[in-house]
Structure 1
Amino acid sequence: MSGQMYLAYDYPMLSIFWSMLVFFLWIMWFVLLFRVVVDVFRDDDLSGWAKAGWLVFVLLLPYLGVFVYLIARGRNMGRREVAQAHAQHEAFEKYVRETARGADRRSSVDELARLSEIRARGDITDEEFRKAKELVLSDSGGAGRPSGAGSSERAGAGAGAAAAGR
């Protein structure tokens, strides 16, 4: 063992501080570099050649490229990020609305099963079942209307009127 062995007390506190600072700045540098690269690709105003030029500049001369990019185009980086976040939020809300609306729809199969249960309980007659069935089947092929929309209200109203008339 010819190598010199260092103990924890041989590494002074100021050296620990400077090591942590350098490590933190190194991480921050990569965060800034990645944000610039993402912003280059996010910007729709830049042509493909301009994006390639900025990317080559940022990757070949990273410090100079990033600082020049921040000076030249940094003002709108935040606006582009906010616009993308807003677009993602709108897309998410649209997806949630469409999914929630789809959960309320009943298919013609569900309507027919419901009508069959009502007939089995004796709440409607066979003739009323046949009319409601025709109504459900005619709505399922309707143009521009979601499957089952309106048919459950009419079938339910018919069943309710039949039950009330008994």
Structure 2
Amino acid sequence: MDDYPLLNLFWTMLWLFLWVMWFFLLFKVITDIFRDHELHGWGKAGWLILVLLLPYIGVLVYLIVRGKSMSQRDVKQAQANEKAFQDYVQKAAGPRSSPAEELAKLSSLKEQGHLTQQEFDKAKEKLLA
């Protein structure tokens, strides 16, 4: 441990952190290139070549030129995911019936003898609350 002082350990950790963050940013930019529907074939190819051949300059230029629209695409994607989740929950929960329909079901159950008057009154009170 004497040949690798604590300061060198911190320095190594800093470089490792920066290296991981660089790859995260690089993958984020590449993902955004392919996700953008306004950018067509040659535009995507050009940005991809620039980002892969000159990675530091390419990513920096991409963030300067298209950074604002990049965040707008992220927000749009998050909203689409949220809407898809809400639609799934609505579909899984099934159609919601109105209180009048529920009251009619309770009434028919009472008439068929499946509910007593007390159970009917309790369920009706809960339904109308």
TM-score (norm 2): 0.73
Task: Give the aligned length.
Answer: 108
Structure 1 or 2, whichever has the larger Rg, is 1
**What are structure 2's unaligned runs of at least 5 residues?**
114-129
Query: Is residue 10 of structure 1 aligned with residue 3 of structure 2?
Result: yes
Query: 1:115 matched to which residue of 2?
Result: none
From 19, 24, 38, the equivalent of 1:26 is: 19
Counterpart in 1 of 2:28?
35
Matches within 5 A, 1:1-150: 8-101=1-94
Identity, % of aligned positions: 51
Deviation at 1:72, TM superposition (A): 0.8
Instruction: Tell me the amino acid that sits aligned with residue 41 of structure 1.
Output: F
Q: Distance in 1 between matches of 2:60 and 2:33?
A: 14
- The separation in 1 between residues aligned to 2:67 and 2:28, in whole angstroms, is 11
Provide the alpha-carbon RMSD of the alignment: 2.3
Q: Deviations over 1:115-153 (max 9, x none)?
A: xxxxxxxxxxxxxxxxxxxxxxxxxxxxxxxxxxx8xx5
CA positional deviation for 1:14 = 1.9
Q: Secondary structure at the match of 2:91?
A: helix
Structure 1 stretches of 4+ with a deviation exceeding 2 A read: 159-163
Distance 1:48 1:65 in 2: 18
* 1:161 shift after superposition: 4.1
How far did residue 162 of structure 1 move?
Answer: 5.9
> How does the TM-score come out when normalised to structure 1?
0.58
